[in-house]
Amino acid sequence: MTLIMGVLNVTPDSFSDGGLWLEPDAAIAHGLELVAQGADLVDVGGESTRPGASQVEPAEEQNRVVPVIRELAARGVSVSVDTLNADTARAAVEAGAVIVNDVSGGLADERMPEVLLETGAQYVVMHWRGRLDAADSKAVYRNTVAEVRSELSARVTDLLNRGVDPAKLILDPGLGFSKNAHHNWQVLGGLHDIETLGYPVLIGASRKRFLGALLPEGAPAEDRDAPTAVISALAAQAGAWAVRVHDVPSTRIALDVVRAWQAGRDE
């Protein structure tokens, strides 16, 4: 069954909840709340990847995430770290993280494969064409799904050539990263083609800008939780390994519906 990865942003500037969980005690409490609500994993990040966000020094990123990861792991929570920095990934795994969720797929820090070999952590390889800019200048495709699949495949090949265990890899097609709304829907519609690469697939649509186009103008980011839950259900039906979401309860209900529907069909 599709897993739920709850988002825990330990940042001042993330697009939907920046600053809410910046203090360690608040972050730890929210991480535990996500688990109580039904999250299977908690994804802890200390640097926003929204367009125009300031880059964070690795030492500061680690100051934000490591104490939170250590405490959550000590309480039995399965934790992933959302980082594109190899030093932060190493520190996070040493603190108890079991997954490194790298939006750059190893392109931002060439030392990342070394950390994976040293730690044995699972690794989320996201489709990435570079840091986001307001103009989405990299969001140009002739065949969106085919190109995303090809570029992900190239990243996997590079990682395997550097000794990374294929059993540790998870793919993320990178919704919202160098993709406009049309591209995002094409990727979701073509999810099966991504899955033919033979690796588990993580879908991260939660509260992203392309969902806002479905809502009244000016609607807050939290109003995107309903369409996020629908995407979670459809992704589960399509065989996604996990969905990464801010609002766990709505997604938990959506996945329970999928499970009940499938059980009724299988009887």
Beta carbons within 10 angstroms of residue 120's beta carbon: 11
Q: Is 168 an annotated catalytic residue?
A: no
> Among the options 90, 208, 224, 252, which is catalytic?
208
Give the C-alpha distances (Å, rounded to integers) separating 93 from 82, 100, 159, 199. 11, 8, 19, 22
Length of the chain: 267
Amino acid at 143: N
**Alpha-carbon span 84 to 155, nearest angstrom:** 14
What Rg, from alpha-carbon coordinates, does the chain have?
17
**Of the candidates 170, 230, 182, which has an alpha carbon nearest to the alpha carbon of residue 205?**
230
Residue among 64, 155, 244, 252 flagged as catalytic: 244
3 state DSSP class of 169: strand
244 labelled catalytic: yes
| Active-site residue list | 208, 244
